[in-house]
Each structure stands twice: as structure tokens, then as C-alpha cells.
């Protein structure tokens, strides 16, 4: 345990108080991790190949799912399309203008073919 958590536990009298304190600390830490990962989805730079770029996004989405903060398909698609280079603008417009939305796998396959 970190010193910060131990300091907060000092003076607590019951196991219920200790568990509540630990739960609050854990929840706070998890919220911070979730916010950090969601920020990564929105700000990762795309200065790599499409396959590495897609893998990096999928890794963050999977990490979020692992800690119970799933990402919607819409958010996943938007995170993929948001940072594509200008040469993918026609591709982005085509994907965004479809009546029936593409799946993540279809978008990834199309991007890999485009590359």
C-alpha cells in the first residue's frame, strides 16, 4: 500500500470504514485511468502505419473494456477516423455518409486496403 492510502486509514475504527476508504481510493484511481485512456483515444498521433495505428486504438479500447469502461462502436469509429491524414478525407466522407454503418472490422479492412 502506498503511504498516501495508509495515511487515510489511520484513525479509522471499523473494518467498514476501512473498506469504504479503500473503495473510494480504488474508484478514484479507476476514474482517473479511464479518463486518461479516453483522452488517448482522442489525441493519439497518427504518424505510423495504418496497422500500427489501428492496433494502438484497439489496445486502448480493450484496456477500457478490461476495467469495465466499454467504448461504443460510434466512439471507436470516431477515434479511428479523427486522426487519419488528409489523404484519407475521401475515405472518411464515404464512411460517415453511409446509411448502414460499417463495423469496426470492415473499417479496419478498408483502411488497410486503402494503405
- What confidence score (pLDDT) does residue 45 get? 67
Whole-prediction pTM value?
0.71
Name the E strands within 16-60. Answer: none
pLDDT in tens, 17-53: 888 888 888 888 888 888 888 887 777 666 778 888 8
Specify whether the backbone of 11 is left (phi greater than 0), alpha (psi in -120 to 50) or beta: left
> Which domain range does residue 38 map to?
3-114
Give how many domains the chain has, as a whole number. Answer: 1
Taking the C-alpha atoms of residue 90 and residue 99, their distance in angstroms, rounded to an integer, is 16
Check pLDDT > 70 for residue 1. no
Which residue in 57, 34, 38, 37 sits closest to 46, CA to CA?
Answer: 57
Q: What is the mean pLDDT of the chain?
A: 85
Do the beta carbons of residue 54 and residue 108 sit within 8 Å?
yes
Amino acid at each position: 500500500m502506498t503511504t498516501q492510502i495508509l495515511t487515510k486509514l489511520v484513525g479509522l475504527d471499523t473494518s467498514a470504514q476501512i473498506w469504504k476508504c479503500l473503495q473510494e481510493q480504488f474508484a478514484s484511481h479507476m476514474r482517473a485511468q479511464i479518463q486518461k485512456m479516453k483522452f488517448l483515444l482522442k489525441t493519439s498521433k497518427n504518424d505510423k502505419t495504418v496497422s500500427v495505428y489501428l492496433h494502438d486504438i484497439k489496445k486502448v479500447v480493450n484496456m477500457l473494456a478490461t476495467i469495465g469502461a466499454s467504448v461504443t462502436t460510434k466512439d471507436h469509429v470516431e477515434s479511428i477516423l479523427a486522426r487519419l491524414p488528409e489523404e484519407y478525407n475521401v475515405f472518411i466522407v464515404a464512411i460517415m455518409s453511409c446509411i448502414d454503418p460499417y463495423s469496426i472490422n470492415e473499417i479496419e479492412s478498408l483502411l488497410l486496403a486503402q494503405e
